[in-house]
Amino acid sequence: MAAALLTGCASAPPPAGNAAEPAWYAQTVDQLAELNRAAQRAFQDGKPDQAAALIERGQPLVSRLLHVPKPSLPAVEAASDLDDLYGRMLLSNRNYTWAITLFEKNRSRWKNWTPQTPETARRLKQAEVAIAECDRRMAE
Protein backbone atom coordinates (compact mmCIF):
# COMPACT_ATOMS: atom_id res chain seq x y z
CA MET A 1 0.00 0.00 0.00
CA ALA A 2 2.80 2.43 0.88
CA ALA A 3 4.55 1.65 -2.43
CA ALA A 4 1.39 2.47 -4.34
CA LEU A 5 1.07 5.79 -2.51
CA LEU A 6 4.71 6.68 -3.15
CA THR A 7 4.42 5.75 -6.80
CA GLY A 8 1.38 8.00 -7.11
CA CYS A 9 3.35 10.89 -5.61
CA ALA A 10 6.28 10.51 -7.99
CA SER A 11 6.77 13.50 -10.23
CA ALA A 12 5.42 13.24 -13.74
CA PRO A 13 7.89 12.99 -16.60
CA PRO A 14 8.86 16.38 -18.03
CA PRO A 15 6.80 17.57 -20.97
CA ALA A 16 8.21 17.09 -24.44
CA GLY A 17 10.19 20.03 -25.78
CA ASN A 18 12.25 22.64 -24.05
CA ALA A 19 11.03 23.50 -20.56
CA ALA A 20 12.01 27.12 -21.21
CA GLU A 21 9.64 27.37 -24.19
CA PRO A 22 6.36 29.16 -23.64
CA ALA A 23 3.28 26.91 -23.64
CA TRP A 24 2.14 28.19 -27.06
CA TYR A 25 5.47 27.49 -28.76
CA ALA A 26 5.08 23.86 -29.88
CA GLN A 27 1.55 24.50 -31.09
CA THR A 28 2.76 27.45 -33.17
CA VAL A 29 5.56 25.35 -34.68
CA ASP A 30 2.95 22.74 -35.66
CA GLN A 31 0.68 25.41 -37.17
CA LEU A 32 3.54 26.81 -39.25
CA ALA A 33 4.59 23.35 -40.42
CA GLU A 34 1.02 22.64 -41.55
CA LEU A 35 0.83 25.99 -43.39
CA ASN A 36 4.12 25.11 -45.09
CA ARG A 37 2.76 21.75 -46.24
CA ALA A 38 -0.43 23.34 -47.56
CA ALA A 39 1.49 26.11 -49.35
CA GLN A 40 3.85 23.56 -50.88
CA ARG A 41 0.90 21.50 -52.16
CA ALA A 42 -0.76 24.61 -53.61
CA PHE A 43 2.46 25.66 -55.36
CA GLN A 44 2.98 22.15 -56.77
CA ASP A 45 -0.64 22.09 -57.95
CA GLY A 46 -0.13 25.31 -59.93
CA LYS A 47 -2.02 27.52 -57.48
CA PRO A 48 0.54 30.24 -56.73
CA ASP A 49 -2.01 32.74 -55.40
CA GLN A 50 -3.24 30.23 -52.84
CA ALA A 51 0.36 29.36 -51.91
CA ALA A 52 1.19 33.05 -51.52
CA ALA A 53 -1.79 33.59 -49.22
CA LEU A 54 -0.69 30.68 -47.05
CA ILE A 55 2.86 32.00 -46.93
CA GLU A 56 1.52 35.39 -45.90
CA ARG A 57 -0.50 33.75 -43.10
CA GLY A 58 2.69 32.07 -41.93
CA GLN A 59 4.74 35.25 -41.58
CA PRO A 60 3.32 36.32 -38.18
CA LEU A 61 3.93 32.79 -36.89
CA VAL A 62 7.56 32.95 -38.03
CA SER A 63 7.98 36.27 -36.31
CA ARG A 64 6.51 34.97 -33.08
CA LEU A 65 8.61 31.80 -33.12
CA LEU A 66 11.90 33.50 -33.88
CA HIS A 67 11.53 36.33 -31.40
CA VAL A 68 12.05 34.16 -28.33
CA PRO A 69 15.51 34.24 -26.74
CA LYS A 70 16.64 30.91 -28.23
CA PRO A 71 14.41 29.55 -31.02
CA SER A 72 14.20 25.78 -31.24
CA LEU A 73 15.54 23.82 -34.19
CA PRO A 74 12.02 22.77 -35.31
CA ALA A 75 10.93 26.43 -35.25
CA VAL A 76 13.93 27.55 -37.30
CA GLU A 77 13.36 24.68 -39.74
CA ALA A 78 9.72 25.67 -40.19
CA ALA A 79 10.71 29.32 -40.75
CA SER A 80 13.39 28.19 -43.19
CA ASP A 81 10.91 26.02 -45.09
CA LEU A 82 8.55 28.99 -45.49
CA ASP A 83 11.36 31.22 -46.75
CA ASP A 84 12.62 28.52 -49.11
CA LEU A 85 9.19 28.04 -50.66
CA TYR A 86 8.66 31.78 -51.00
CA GLY A 87 12.11 32.09 -52.57
CA ARG A 88 11.34 29.31 -55.06
CA MET A 89 8.07 31.02 -55.97
CA LEU A 90 9.90 34.30 -56.55
CA LEU A 91 12.53 32.48 -58.59
CA SER A 92 9.83 30.96 -60.78
CA ASN A 93 8.42 34.48 -61.34
CA ARG A 94 11.87 35.85 -62.23
CA ASN A 95 12.03 38.01 -59.10
CA TYR A 96 15.64 37.00 -58.64
CA THR A 97 16.78 39.74 -56.27
CA TRP A 98 13.96 39.05 -53.81
CA ALA A 99 14.49 35.31 -54.12
CA ILE A 100 18.19 35.70 -53.33
CA THR A 101 17.29 37.69 -50.23
CA LEU A 102 15.27 34.77 -48.86
CA PHE A 103 17.86 32.18 -49.82
CA GLU A 104 20.59 34.31 -48.22
CA LYS A 105 18.56 34.43 -45.02
CA ASN A 106 18.46 30.63 -45.01
CA ARG A 107 22.16 30.38 -45.81
CA SER A 108 22.93 32.63 -42.86
CA ARG A 109 20.63 30.62 -40.56
CA TRP A 110 22.27 27.32 -41.36
CA LYS A 111 25.84 28.55 -41.65
CA ASN A 112 25.62 29.92 -38.10
CA TRP A 113 23.52 27.18 -36.49
CA THR A 114 25.17 25.21 -33.73
CA PRO A 115 25.54 22.37 -33.41
CA GLN A 116 25.89 21.53 -37.07
CA THR A 117 24.15 18.32 -38.10
CA PRO A 118 23.73 16.50 -41.40
CA GLU A 119 20.30 18.16 -41.71
CA THR A 120 21.62 21.68 -41.10
CA ALA A 121 24.42 20.99 -43.60
CA ARG A 122 21.84 19.80 -46.14
CA ARG A 123 19.78 22.95 -45.63
CA LEU A 124 22.89 25.14 -45.99
CA LYS A 125 23.77 23.40 -49.26
CA GLN A 126 20.16 23.79 -50.47
CA ALA A 127 20.31 27.54 -49.87
CA GLU A 128 23.67 27.84 -51.63
CA VAL A 129 22.39 25.91 -54.65
CA ALA A 130 19.31 28.16 -54.82
CA ILE A 131 21.48 31.30 -54.67
CA ALA A 132 23.67 29.94 -57.45
CA GLU A 133 20.56 29.23 -59.53
CA CYS A 134 19.38 32.82 -59.07
CA ASP A 135 22.83 34.11 -60.06
CA ARG A 136 22.84 31.86 -63.14
CA ARG A 137 19.42 33.04 -64.27
CA MET A 138 20.27 36.70 -63.69
CA ALA A 139 23.35 36.30 -65.90
CA GLU A 140 21.28 34.95 -68.83
pLDDT digits (tens, 9 = 90+) for 45-65: 999 999 999 999 999 999 999
How many angstroms separate the CA atoms of 113 and 8, rounded? 41
Average pLDDT for the chain = 88
| CA–CA dist 138, 42 (Å, integer) | 26
Percent of the chain, pLDDT > 70? 86
With respect to residue 5, please indicate whether it lies within any of the assigned structural domains. no
Q: Kindly state whether residue 101 falls inside one of the protein's structural domains.
A: yes
- Contact (Cβ atoms closer than 8 angstroms) between residue 110 and residue 73: no
Total tally of structural domains belonging to the chain: 1
Q: Which residues touch 126 (CB under 8 Å, ≥6 apart)? A: 84, 106
> Is 3 within the bounds of a domain?
no
92 inside domain: yes
**Interval 90-102 mean pLDDT:** 97
Confidence (pLDDT) at 21: 76
Domain of 102 in residue numbering reads as 24-139
User: Does residue 15 carry a pLDDT above 70?
Assistant: no
- Is residue 107's pLDDT more than 60? yes
Q: What is the pLDDT of residue 131?
A: 98
Mean per-residue pLDDT, 16-41:
87
Q: Look at residue 8 and tell me if it is in a domain.
A: no
Q: What is the pLDDT of residue 11?
A: 34
For the four alpha carbons of 59, 100, 119 and 39, in that order, the dihedral sign comes to positive
Sign, CA dihedral 85-90-96-97, equals negative
d(CA 69, CA 41) in angstroms, rounded, equals 32
Distance CA 82, CA 35 (A): 9
Phi, psi of 83, deg, nearest 5: -65, -40
Whether the pLDDT of residue 139 is over 70: the answer is yes
